[in-house]
Structure 1
Amino acid sequence: MKELNISKGAGRLSAPSKLTTTVCIKLQMDEDAAQKLHKTRLLYRDACNFLVKYVCRDSSERNWQRYNLHHAAYYDLRLALPVLGSQLACNAIRSVSSAYKTELTNHPRKNKEESLKKIVFKNPSIHLDKNTIRYQSDMTEATVFTVEGRVKVRLCPGDFQKRLLDSGKRKESNLVYRKNKKGGFWFLHISLEYDSTLSALTAKLKKEEVIGVDVGENNIAAVSSGKVWKAGELKHKRDKYLGLRARLQSNGSQSARQHLRKASGKERRHVTHVNHVVSKSIVEEAAKQKAKVIVLEDLTHIRDRVRAGKRVRSRLHRWSFRELQQLIEYKAQRRGINVMYVDPRYTSQTCSACSQLGKRSKHRFVCPHCGLRAHSDLNASRNLQGLGYQLIVQGLL
């Protein structure tokens, strides 16, 4: 008989002592200040593109690392763009280093001799630190460093942004310019840090204070308390976008490529919005149940493990489970709820009542041993709940 994995190290707890979030605030300024910021943005873009050739020069030098890139290119950058200033030059090095670290994380090289991809910076955000931006005490205005002196900008946060600013400690930020048909707007993305209020896990933890969340394709999520979020509408829209992409890619014209980029952005934003709505509802359900722990599946490298046809792989790669889990994690931590990941093997095939192997057919689970009949995803979520609870009380994390 197959059993759920409750061995040492079968779960991991996500409980950092410091929590971080980013608040996006719209800026207002006069025309003169806007022109100075635009000039600074263009020079910052040129600096980032100038630094790319140093990163790609020799992959063995590992110049994508910030320290190495600074020593390799700083003085050449100051000679090429002296008007940029020393601090913005350092910030440009940081931006390029971060971009390449992200690229290597998302698309790792097969070997160390493989050449690095040349990243082109078209509209980069300007990284700002304590030397390049200063805030007023009431957070209504700030002064930003530009290549033509400091300019004053007005911050326009909403009520939600004000609450975040009041509760967190300001760290570094990014100045972002977003274009649209009417011109464009400036935004400030401020990183905030605040102390975690995570509950301490003890052996006195009750099973009712742990909830399991099973994520999937046909149902976005199922919670052990009995709630299910269906994915029918989301799948339908993603299938429509998939057909649209196929038609545009087969066309190949410039207009088709422009339409393809536009459609890709709309699909991505829609999926993120749905994940935000579902993750918020899950965390609210956990708070309503007075849960102290949310148990999620550790699906790391699941795409690499699957061996299936093109159609199945296409569906799997469109599954945004990791984004949903990350949203659940940070929303839960802000509510003081712990999040843990467990080994998901056999959680969808095991009966949550008697722990024997049962039969699953689409959304229906039937146990031939105890007679349990349940929604297959709800059964899996209750197995996750039980597995997480055992790992905690037995001290096997």
Structure 2
Amino acid sequence: MPLVTLRAQVHADPETLAVLKDAMFCATKVYNGLLWHLRKEYEETGKVDISRKNLNRILKELPRAKGYYSMSVQLTRDEVREAYKSFFALKKKSLTQHEAPGFRRKGYLSPLKYVQSGFKVEGDKVTVSLGTGREDGVREVSFRISHRPGVEYERVRELSITYDKVSGRIEARLVVEVKANPCPGRLRAALDLGETILMAAAFEDGTVLLYSGRFIKSVRRYWQKVRASLKQNSRRWKEVAHREKLQVEHLLHAATSHFIEECVRRGVGEVAIGAITGIRENIDYGDRLNQRLHAWPYRKLTDMLKYKGALAGIVVRDDVDERNTSVRCHACGRVLPSNRKHRGLYVCSCGWKAQADVNGSLNIFERAYEVSPVKGSSGRVARPVVLSLHLGWHGVHEPKREEKTSRASL
């Protein structure tokens, strides 16, 4: 069964929320305590022993380890191990200097994680165990949750209690098994993700849909200007940041839901997305544009597509190498950055002319499936249909100046 992560709002009385926050604070103290002892060991011996046996020995010396569920304590221990493993891997791979895992700041509330045990979900009621060693004697707490409607799941596999620093609220993350719909068909599609064009979708029959990201850009710009006049991390600043987050997520949900519905209607069973791994490390377009691209929600967009696709029986993969897909001519294969003229226009000397994001999505399709979505046809890509998404509605229009692109040279 497909696994889907549900984000849920926690509804509890002040006393329960206080207990949960204290347990989350204990998780932070345990994480920092493990790091402190490892650093001390390194200073004394020149080595760092991150074996479970050594970390379990340290845990016995940390009084806060009794402040929350024992299995969750072990997951905190494993977080420290993974942090050090990543540090060692980077240090071995790169000649540049890398810093060891750092302490979590004072007052930080770490997630409480439960896997398979220590929690019970009955409808909208959740009960989590806090262990038997807390000083206040509280062994478990119960609260109610609410999440988006329309999701029916068979079983809850994992549960995390997190603190959203933007809204100042405690939330729950449930990893659930869902019963997926049957696969809608065997056709395929490819997506090129971007900023101005949020998604460029190329279907196997040569149809192309462009989802505009301009309204998301305008929403982000507006709220960034509002925040600029406020004191950072103040109550009002956090309220504004939370409102921006909700509006952006609403637009992302509208775009991804429409795309998945189109895939179901067209009988698409698999969607390929260009891999975004390392995109934030590999871009350098100047300070201003870098800031915009680093803040763009690529991962959130991909995650939405994956879980909505899973519910619809569609496989969504994001493992396609995206290098040079935006500057490679889909007709002749020539890689030339200067072919991207202006405002998304791609023109090659071979005669190929297309909207640049359309060209990129066609290249991703060809690289993912080793076949072109328009080969064997009349050699033409359908005129792209542009969807403009808004907070309350979305409209569809065909660009007046967009001409059908030809593949007569193939």
Using the aligned pairs only, state the percent identity.
18
- Please tell me whether residue 91 in structure 1 is matched to residue 89 in structure 2: no
Moved more, 281-290 or 191-200: 191-200
Contact between 2:200 and 2:357, CA under 8 Å: does it hold in 1?
yes
SS of the residue corresponding to residue 200 of structure 2 reads strand
- Please tell me whether residue 219 in structure 1 is matched to residue 197 in structure 2: yes
CA distance in 1: counterparts of 2:19 and 2:313, whole angstroms: 44
TM-score (norm 1): 0.69
Q: How does 1:214-363 map to 2 (within 5 A)?
A: 214-224=192-202, 225-243=207-225, 255-258=231-234, 259-340=236-317, 341-353=319-331, 355=333, 359-361=339-341, 362-363=343-344
- Structure of greater relative contact order (alpha carbons < 8 Å, 6+ residues apart): 1
- The structure in which a higher percent of residues are helix is 1
SS of the residue corresponding to residue 5 of structure 2 reads strand
The answer for the alignment partner of 2:4 in structure 1 is 21
The answer for the alignment partner of 1:173 in structure 2 is 159
Q: What amino acid does structure 2 have at the position aligned with 1:211?
A: A
SS of the residue corresponding to residue 221 of structure 1 reads strand
Q: What amino acid does structure 1 have at the position aligned with 2:149?
A: F
Q: What amino acid does structure 2 have at the position aligned with 1:274?
A: L
Q: What amino acid does structure 2 have at the position aligned with 1:330?
A: Y
CA distance in 2: counterparts of 1:319 and 1:188, whole angstroms: 24
2:149 alignment partner, one of 160, 168, 184: 160
Superposed CA offset, 1:118-156 (max 9, x none): 1035434433455533355xx364544355355674645
CA distance in 1: counterparts of 2:51 and 2:227, whole angstroms: 37
Contact between 1:62 and 1:68, CA under 8 Å: does it hold in 2?
no
Q: Shift of the alpha carbon at 1:220?
A: 0.9
The answer for the alignment partner of 1:364 in structure 2 is 345
The answer for the alignment partner of 2:368 in structure 1 is 388
CA distance in 1: counterparts of 2:279 and 2:239, whole angstroms: 29
Superposed CA offset, 1:328-361 (max 9, x none): 2332233222234322344333444555668332
- Please tell me whether residue 375 in structure 1 is matched to residue 355 in structure 2: yes
Contact between 2:128 and 2:142, CA under 8 Å: does it hold in 1?
yes
Q: How does 1:16-165 map to 2 (within 5 A)?
A: 19-25=2-8, 35=15, 38-39=18-19, 41-46=21-26, 48-59=28-39, 67=52, 70-77=55-62, 80-81=63-64, 84=67, 88-95=69-76, 97-98=78-79, 101=82, 114-120=99-105, 121-128=107-114, 131-136=117-122, 139=123, 141=125, 143-146=127-130, 147=134, 148=137, 153=142, 155=144, 157=146, 160=149, 163-165=151-153
**Structure 2 gaps, min length 5:** 374-410
2:173 alignment partner, one of 144, 166, 189: 189
The answer for the alignment partner of 2:398 in structure 1 is none
Contact between 1:27 and 1:153, CA under 8 Å: does it hold in 2?
no
Instruction: Tell me: CA distance 1:194–1:366, structure 2 relative to 1, closer, same or farther (3 Å).
Output: same
Contact between 1:128 and 1:173, CA under 8 Å: does it hold in 2?
yes
Q: Shift of the alpha carbon at 1:282?
A: 2.2
Moved more, 255-264 or 226-235: 255-264
CA distance in 2: counterparts of 1:228 and 1:278, whole angstroms: 10
SS of the residue corresponding to residue 227 of structure 1 reads strand
Instruction: Tell me: CA distance 1:228–1:171, structure 2 relative to 1, closer, same or farther (3 Å).
Output: same
The answer for the alignment partner of 1:12 in structure 2 is none
Q: What amino acid does structure 1 have at the position aligned with 2:6?
A: V
Instruction: Tell me: CA distance 1:368–1:177, structure 2 relative to 1, closer, same or farther (3 Å).
Output: closer
Q: Shift of the alpha carbon at 1:52?
A: 0.9
Contact between 1:365 and 1:376, CA under 8 Å: does it hold in 2?
yes
Q: Shift of the alpha carbon at 1:27?
A: 5.7
SS of the residue corresponding to residue 60 of structure 2 reads helix
Instruction: Tell me: CA distance 1:24–1:301, structure 2 relative to 1, closer, same or farther (3 Å).
Output: closer
TM-score (norm 2): 0.67
SS of the residue corresponding to residue 300 of structure 1 reads coil
Contact between 1:356 and 1:369, CA under 8 Å: does it hold in 2?
no
Superposed CA offset, 1:82-106 (max 9, x none): 864xx71441342464388579979
CA distance in 2: counterparts of 1:350 and 1:230, whole angstroms: 22
State how many pairs are aligned: 348
CA RMSD of aligned residues (A): 4.3
Q: What amino acid does structure 1 have at the position aligned with 2:357?
A: D
Q: Shift of the alpha carbon at 1:35?
A: 2.8
CA distance in 2: counterparts of 1:36 and 1:246, whole angstroms: 36
CA distance in 2: counterparts of 1:309 and 1:185, whole angstroms: 35
Q: What amino acid does structure 1 have at the position aligned with 2:34?
A: Y
Superposed CA offset, 1:296-316 (max 9, x none): 112332333334432332233
Superposed CA offset, 1:47-98 (max 9, x none): 53144132133345667x6836741332223xx35864xx714413424643
Q: What amino acid does structure 1 have at the position aligned with 2:104?
A: I
